[in-house]
Amino acid sequence: MTSEEKKAFLLLKTVIFHYHGLDEEEKRILEDTAHSMGAENELKWATQFVEEDYYNAFDRARAFLNQVMSKLDKSKRLYYLSSVWNVNNRKGYISEMEAIAMLRLAQDWQIERELLEMVRNK
C-alpha cells in the first residue's frame, strides 16, 4: 500500500468516525490501524485534515478520496469502504449519518451495489 493509499484509508476511517464526534474506542481503532500499517504519520495527517475544518471535513475528504480511489480497481475500493463499514458495525452500531456518508462514497466510487450486497449478506 502506497503512502497515498494509507492516507486515503486513514482519512476515510477518520472522517467517518468524526461524523458524530470521535470517542475513545474509535480513537483506539484509528491508532491500532495506523500502527499495524506503519502509518502513524498518515494518521496524523488525516487527523489534522479533519480538524482543520471540521464542518466541511467530509466534503473536502470526499474530493481527496475521489481522486485517490479513481486510480484503484473496484475490488480495492470496495475493500477499503467495507473495512470501514465492518469496523463501525463491530463497535456495536453504525449511525445513520455514517451509513449515508459511506453510501455517498460508494456511489462516487461506483461500488454502491456491491457495498449494499455485502451489507445484506452480513
Q: pLDDT of 24-43, one tens digit each?
A: 988 999 999 999 999 999 99
Domain count across the chain: 1
Question: Residue 7 belongs to what domain range?
Answer: 3-120
Per-residue pLDDT of 71-86, as tens digits, reads: 999 999 999 999 999 9
SS3 readout for 43-103: HHHHHHHHHHCHHHHHHHHHHHHHHHHCCCCHHHHHHHHHHHHHHHHHCCCCCHHHHHHHH
pTM value > 0.85? yes
